[in-house]
């Protein structure tokens, strides 16, 4: 359980808005519900913005009441829909969005999304003076300043369920499987899944893939009676087709491997209890920080405590993957 902030409420808010942006993540709906009900119970009106920044720049938003967010806590995806809005990179478009919010009497905005969405939130706050608070909503868990992100636990759980089934075939046929999980520039899902799923090895961004070394290690492990899972977890990487190219290279070294792409099933489905609690705590805290006069921050969690991190730090700094965890995956397999 998380330790919630205790803040002095210095600001009177008439209305706030909430939007979800970028890739959807399981737990966004519980976050929306928490933001809406925390605000409504404080006498603050709440606008739900449709399709992220794409809806914001055309004023596509409507007032939410308590009934609007009923029975969504268990639903995956986002009831507000989402989009990737390239137009929001334009300062003139952000200025237009701020004007629309002010016309509706909106005093604060909550943005739920990943690094690109939080970059937009930072620029909007910096340029317009509007109170903006971000929540880390991404399955990749690659956001600086927070130990966890909304959707990460569900994505890992979904991938693990698939890997446990793949393993049955891998063991029955003594077959090697390359299981690709999401993570273009991040290896957090692959590392967590590999560790929890007992993978033979994991391949993640930032670590050079040495096919010869992989083949040597696989052969040595089998000769020593080690390496029994038949599973190698591969983060998808920035270039499509990485796992298929890797399978071809392995075949050229007499290692036959089947490819299984888990793809977007990791982004769907009901959020786990962990993600529902995380999203609910972060959503409530976002409203509390707005009422306390904070802006241009992200609400995250560090060491079990809800915390606030300047959005400038969030968007300009990267969250490193602990190499010791990568080593641990390989150590525990032998």
**CATH code, 50:** 3.40.50.450
**CATH code, 246:** 3.40.50.460
The answer on 281 and 263 residing in a single domain is: no
45 beta partners? 15
Question: In the prediction, which pLDDT does 227 show?
Answer: 63
Sheet with 176-181: list strands edge to edge: 201-203, 231-235, 176-181, 257-261
- Contact between 333 and 199 under an 8 Å Cβ cutoff? The reply is yes
The answer on 21 and 110 residing in a single domain is: yes
Instruction: List the chain residues with pLDDT less than 70.
Output: 223, 226-228
The answer on 260 and 113 residing in a single domain is: no
Instruction: Round to whole Å and give the CA distance between 91 and 94.
Output: 5
Question: In the prediction, which pLDDT does 223 show?
Answer: 66
pLDDT, one tens digit per residue, over 273-289 is 999 999 999 999 999 99
Query: 330 lies in a domain?
Result: no
User: Is residue 164 annotated as a catalytic residue, yes or no?
Assistant: no
Give the end of a domain, one of 248, 267, 286: 267
Query: 69 lies in a domain?
Result: yes
The answer on 145 and 238 residing in a single domain is: no
Residue 123 sits in which domain range? 15-151+271-316
Which of the residues 107, 115, 140, 275 is marked catalytic?
Answer: 140
The answer on 145 and 19 residing in a single domain is: yes
Question: In the prediction, which pLDDT does 280 show?
Answer: 98
Residues 6+ apart with CB under 8 A from 287: 16, 35, 38, 39, 42, 44, 110
The answer on 299 and 277 residing in a single domain is: yes
Query: In total, how many domains does the chain have?
Result: 2
The answer on 238 and 297 residing in a single domain is: no
- Contact between 202 and 326 under an 8 Å Cβ cutoff? The reply is yes
Residues 6+ apart with CB under 8 A from 328: 195
């Amino acid at each position: 359980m998380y330790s919630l902030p205790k803040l002095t409420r210095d600001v009177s808010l008439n209305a706030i808005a909430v939007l979800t942006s970028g890739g959807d993540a399981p737990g966004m709906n519980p976050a929306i519900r928490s933001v809406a009900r925390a605000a409504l119970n404080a006498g603050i009106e709440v606008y739900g913005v449709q399709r992220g920044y794409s809806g914001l720049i055309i004023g596509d938003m409507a007032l939410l009441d308590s009934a609007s967010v009923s029975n969504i806590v268990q639903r995956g995806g986002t009831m507000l829909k989402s989009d990737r809005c390239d137009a929001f990179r334009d300062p003139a478009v952000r200025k237009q969005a701020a004007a629309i919010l002010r016309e509706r009497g909106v005093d604060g905005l909550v943005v739920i999304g990943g690094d690109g969405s939080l970059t937009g939130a930072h620029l909007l706050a910096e340029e317009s003076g509007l109170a903006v608070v971000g929540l880390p909503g991404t399955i990749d868990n690659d956001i600086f300043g927070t130990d966890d992100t909304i959707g990460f636990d569900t994505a890992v759980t979904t991938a693990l369920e698939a890997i446990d089934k793949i393993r049955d075939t891998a063991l029955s046929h003594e077959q090697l499987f390359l299981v690709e999980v999401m993570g273009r520039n991040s290896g957090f899902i692959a590392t967590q899944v590999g560790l929890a799923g007992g993978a033979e090895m994991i391949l993640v961004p930032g670590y050079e893939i040495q096919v010869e070394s992989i083949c040597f290690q696989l052969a040595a492990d089998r000769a020593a009676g080690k390496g029994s899972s038949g599973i190698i977890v591969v983060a998808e990487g920035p270039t499509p087709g990485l796992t298929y190219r890797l399978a071809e290279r392995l075949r050229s070294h007499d290692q036959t491997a089947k490819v299984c792409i888990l793809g977007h099933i990791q982004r769907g489905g009901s959020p786990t209890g962990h993600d529902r609690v995380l999203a609910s705590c972060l959503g409530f805290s976002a409203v509390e920080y707005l009422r306390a006069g904070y802006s241009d921050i992200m609400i995250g969690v560090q060491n079990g405590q809800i915390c606030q991190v300047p959005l400038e730090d969030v968007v300009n700094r990267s969250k490193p993957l602990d190499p010791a965890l990568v080593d641990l995956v390989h150590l525990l397999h032998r």
